[in-house]
Structure 1
Amino acid sequence: MLKTALLLVNFMIAMALLLSLWRLIQGPSLADRILALDTLYINSIALIILLGMYMGSPLYFEAALLIALLGFVSTAALCKYLLRGDIIE
């Protein structure tokens, strides 16, 4: 029963990834694209964690943590670039 629920949730998150990718490509403004990129990495973290639960391996959780750290730094850098025009002061 748990494996079936995990597969169903994986499918739903994969659909959310596709919709975020569509917004990243189609986004009308730069802020919408940054928000879509943020949503894309959060959904990928959820997908990797669910895959780790499905496979029963703790290695996937470390990969999800690494993606979370890189995603946060990249979102902060892109937002700073959007607001000020440069990343390093």
Structure 2
Amino acid sequence: MTPADALSMATLVSLVLLGLALLISAIRIFIGPTLGDRVLALDLMTVVAMGFVGAIAIRTGLMLYLDIAIALALLGFLATVALARYILSRGSTSEGDGR
């Protein structure tokens, strides 16, 4: 087995496992019992998607995909912060503190 074959097999296995992780996190988003579970699953999905894009970059040899992964990381961070602020504001109004 040549190093190129080993790399191809390793990236194929990683893509399959990352695809399975994406599926599991999507299930958690749909059936999550609380909003916090859904936000955490969405954050997990962005991290797994970054790994997926990184594995594709290694498999194809195009490092342009790494720029996409960086943009996805920024988008995931902003989405997590926005959803956390939403949960925080929703929690303060439900306590009845007069806001």
Q: Normalization by structure 2: what TM-score?
A: 0.84
Higher Cα Rg, which structure = 2
2:76 is equivalent to residue 77 of structure 1: no
Measured in 2, the distance between the counterparts of 1:52 and 1:30 equals 33
Match of 2:12 in 1: 7
Unpaired runs of at least 5, structure 2: 1-5, 91-99
The size of the alignment, in residue pairs, is 85
Match of 1:58 in 2: 63
Match of 1:16 in 2: 21
Measured in 2, the distance between the counterparts of 1:15 and 1:29 equals 22
Q: Percent identity?
A: 36
1:5: Cα distance to partner? 0.7
Residues 10-36 of structure 1 show CA distances to partners (whole Å, capped at 9, x for unaligned) of 100100000000000000000000000
Q: Which 4+ stretches in 1 moved above 6 angstroms?
A: none
Q: What SS class does the counterpart of residue 57 from structure 2 fall into? A: helix
